[in-house]
Amino acid sequence: MSTLLDTQIAQVLVLSFLGTLALTGLVCLVGRKKSGFFMANASVGITYAWFCGFILGTPDFPPEFNNTAILSATACLLVFGAILDFSLIKRKKFPQPIVIMIILISGTIITVWMRSGIDVWSLPILLGWSTVAISLHRISSNKAFGSGNSTFLLVIASLGTGIIAWISDIVVDRDLAFGLCAISIGFFLCNCPKPRFYFGYSILLAGGGSLYILALRLVEQMPSLIPAFIILAFIFFADVSSQYVQNSLKLILPIPNSISLFILTLFPLSLATIIAQIANEFPIN
């Protein structure tokens, strides 16, 4: 297991966190109350693209279509998401069939880009992405949770991905995952204690898509990590468990949504960490 973070990376993580706070405020200020509400979430994708550039260097042009092109894929998903968010300024929201189509299109982009085409793994990858994206969109649309809790799940999932990469001694993906975590925390704090900004398609596609790409990169390098990521994915269903717990305990001990969500995410995070440790002790060739 390598050293968690060297001094330079730690400084860049702090800079990325502060940059997200500043960029979110700037977008909100320039866009005013209406457009700033919908476009502020693009700060996550912009800052993460910069962070990827720092870690990976300048991408090739034209970009390669494989799992090394995470920066180019993130930028592509960010542009796609920003266009969708901009169109929501007047429209407010898309019909459900359009949302599903957007998720499938972005999933196809991720699948084809990471696999350099279509193969036997394309359908499982597309299904996995659809599960993550639909879950994040569902939570952000739920009045009981909202954009702050959606961002919180992205924080925990990226933290878990970084821990799995750290245990597996895969340094680059560890840094990228912790970078996404720090940047997501920045946007999360902008939505505390009351959600102020929309959890839009920019953060859903660029943030959620980058997280999923990192998971794919790690699994390709170490297939024995697949069980750990399957368990970690249960984080995106914490809202369902939270509502069940609240309905069961509301007469005995009422628990706020955010607290129950936090507690419930600790279980898959801890279990995925243990499974990743076992996978490193007994690797599959």
User: How far apart are alpha carbons 183 and 21 in whole angstroms?
Assistant: 9
Beta strands in the chain (DSSP E): none
Q: Is the pLDDT of residue 2 over 70?
A: no
Angle at 160 between CA 149 and CA 122, to 5 degrees: 95
DSSP class of residue 4 equals: S
User: How far apart are alpha carbons 160 and 232 in whole angstroms?
Assistant: 7
pTM, two decimals, is: 0.88
pLDDT tens digits, one per residue of 112-163: 877 776 777 778 888 888 888 888 888 888 776 777 788 899 999 999 999 9
Cα-to-chain-centroid distance, residue 164 = 15
Confidence category of residue 38, pLDDT binned at 50, 70, 90: confident
pLDDT tens digits, one per residue of 183-221: 999 999 888 767 778 888 899 999 999 999 999 889 888
User: How far apart are alpha carbons 68 and 63 in whole angstroms?
Assistant: 10
Count the residues in the chain. Answer: 285
User: How far apart are alpha carbons 209 and 195 in whole angstroms?
Assistant: 22
Contact 66, 91 (CB under 8 A): no
pLDDT > 90: percent of the chain: 27
Give the per-residue pLDDT at 60: 67
